[in-house]
Amino acid sequence: MVSVVSADVKPVGLFADGMVIQRETKAPVWGTAEAGEKVTVTASWGTSADTTADASGKWMVKLKTPKAGGPYTLTIQGNNTVEIKDVLSGEVWFCSGQSNMDFVLGRLVNSTKSTLPVDQLAAEYNKNEVATAEDDLLRQFTVKTTKSPFEPLDAFTGAWIRSSPENNADFSATAYFFGRELRRRLDVPVAVIKCAVGATYIESWMPAEALQADKEMAAFYESQVKALEGRLARWDPKKAEARYQTALKKWQATRKGRNPRPPFSPKEHGNIPTTLFNGMVHPIIPYAIKGVIWYQGEGNASRNTEKYERNFRTLIGAWREHWGQGDFPFYFAQLANFGEPVSEPVDSDSWASICDQQRRTLGLKNTGMAVLSDIGEAKDVHPHNKMDVGKRLALWALKNDYKQKVTVCSGPLYKSHKIQGDQVIITFDSAGSGLMAGSKTGLEATQETDEALKHFQICGVDRQWKWANVEIAGKDTVTVSHPEIANPTVVRYAWSKNAESANLYNKEGLPASLFTTDATNRMDTQKP
């Protein structure tokens, strides 16, 4: 809680007891006051700044922040005084997406749908972490789910918590293990800002002007807004409540099926384009951050799938523009394997398409991707092994942003190919110390095996896919062929929703990303 003597000067919700401010930068501090009121912000680490609230009562200063440390105190003074205690200076990461970012440690303790021992062990690990972990220098701010389809908001609610047995259950599991790894390697305060909502599309997280800049997406956006306006015009809260009460009484009498949901306004639907950017991201901007981690894409496997790369690139660019902090790091999780494994090559797969579009997004500056094809669960879209998710995302930050001794931060990434007779030679970036066939079980480290490389598909001009023969031909190359295909044209790897048998790794134990060599395989290559 923030101690407030009167109600004139008020900072936004992030500036509260227990906060973490980005170290060694000029961090914006802002809020509201009376129009024309002079506001002075003083930090106990020895700096201050002042300004005057504008005609609408808004004010902002930029405060030079110290090296990692604390606790400090922030004092904001106008007609009244606000004192913010237990302020740490450290690393701040914005953590966003849908349910796999939203899923808290507490939900992962007992929620596994899998009967496999390895998945049960992951659940037990989470349970122990919730019950025993304690780190005052690892903190989380949770942004309350707020939807605003028509206009960006400034106000928001949320709260800071620190890692402890009392609070761990409320931490985003992905963000927690990411932050824990940074804490272990850097030994500085780390904050994760959780801003995620389950079952959401990427379009919900995009600002309106970004959607409107593209002719096709502008038409989609406008149609969605028009449809919402129609639903709102027909919306009658009293009639909706009456229908709900009738359905509830019927269900209570029989207890059959799902209990009915209370009615809510059409404006509260989470998948309206821009609604979550407006309600949850815009109010946080321009809080100083080191970068973003993102875990989303499952929702778009059934909506605007073919447009995901374009929309994802647009989102990253728009967020960077809005924040005004340059091309800050943006690291994302590729979708984990999910569903029943396939026994035969498939011609198309929307899940695989999303994964490949995520891979191609690596062409943007300061991006990175954690490959999760070896940690998913066939029966649960929410893998319990969030430990490896967090660690793999952290590798990108540790190598690129903190200059830690990390050999490689990614598994093998398709670089190029050439066709020689009946063979296709594939070259990879991020091969690390070399390519290998590997096997990963649960939370254990990847082990090298003597098995043949699996889940490579090859075809000729007839597009009849066959499982390929694959040989490691060098530190960063493999050869791919099939005895019945004399003139190969395309090779794909791990091209399915659940490529369970895919086993190409680098010797650092990181799995190779899914890819295809066909004409859609465009990516401005960056070497992790």
Instruction: At 179, list the tokens.
Output: 């932050």
| pLDDT attached to residue 522 | 55
Mean pLDDT of 214-226: 93
Question: At 369, is the secondary structure helix, strand, or coil?
Answer: strand
Which fold, 3-207+274-400?
A: Rossmann fold (3.40.50)
Instruction: At 61, list the tokens.
Output: 């200063």
For strand 291-295 and strand 81-97, is the pairing parallel, antiparallel, or unpaired?
parallel
| pLDDT attached to residue 528 | 44
Interior CA angle at 394 toward 388 and 395, to 5°?
Answer: 90
List the one residue out of 479, 469, 470 whose CA is nearest residue 423. 479
Least confident of 121-135, 276-290, 430-444: 121-135
Interior CA angle at 284 toward 279 and 286, to 5°?
Answer: 135
| pLDDT attached to residue 526 | 44
| pLDDT attached to residue 6 | 43
Mean pLDDT of 378-390: 94
Which residue in the block uniquely carries the two structure tokens 């029943």? 340
| pLDDT attached to residue 520 | 62
Mean pLDDT of 507-523: 86
Least confident of 91-100, 163-172, 178-187, 346-355: 346-355
Mean pLDDT of 312-324: 98
Task: Using the predicted structure, report yes or no on whether residue 13 has a pLDDT greater than 90.
Answer: yes
Q: What's the rounded Cα separation, in Å, for the pair 89 and 65?
A: 7
Give the CA dihedral 494, 499, 513, 490, nearest 10 degrees. 0
Task: Using the predicted structure, report yes or no on whether residue 486 has a pLDDT greater than 70.
Answer: yes
Give the CA dihedral 60, 62, 65, 70, nearest 10 degrees. -10
Instruction: Write out pLDDT tens, residues 239-280.
Output: 989 999 999 899 899 988 888 889 989 888 878 999 999 999
Q: DSSP letter at 380?
A: B
φ, ψ at 184 (rounded to 5°):
-65, -40
pTM: 0.95
Q: What's the rounded Cα separation, in Å, for the pair 53 and 177?
A: 40
Instruction: At 520, list the tokens.
Output: 């859609």
How far, rounded to the nearest angstrom, does the alpha carbon of residue 57 sit from its chain's CA centroid? Answer: 34
Instruction: At 174, list the tokens.
Output: 């992905």
The DSSP H or E segment spanning 175 is helix 173-186
Q: Confirm if 456 and 463 have CB atoms less than 8 A apart.
A: no
Q: Confirm if 489 and 464 have CB atoms less than 8 A apart.
A: no
List the one residue out of 24, 55, 56, 26 whose CA is nearest residue 41. 26
C-alpha distances in Å from residue 460, one per residue of 165, 361, 419:
57, 28, 11
Sign of CA dihedral 96, 408, 163, 24: negative
Q: Confirm if 22 and 65 have CB atoms less than 8 A apart.
A: yes
Kindly indicate the confidence band of residue 117, based on its pLDDT and cuts at 50, 70 and 90: confident
The secondary structure of 127-186 as a DSSP string is HHHHHH--EEEEEEEEEPP---SSS--S---EEEEEESTTTGGGSBHHHHHHHHHHHHHH
| pLDDT attached to residue 111 | 67
Instruction: Write out pLDDT tens, residues 138-190.
Output: 999 999 999 999 999 998 888 899 999 999 999 999 999 999 999 999 999 99
Question: Domain-by-domain residue ranges, the chain?
Answer: 3-207+274-400, 216-268, 413-516
Q: What's the rounded Cα separation, in Å, for the pair 447 and 443?
A: 12
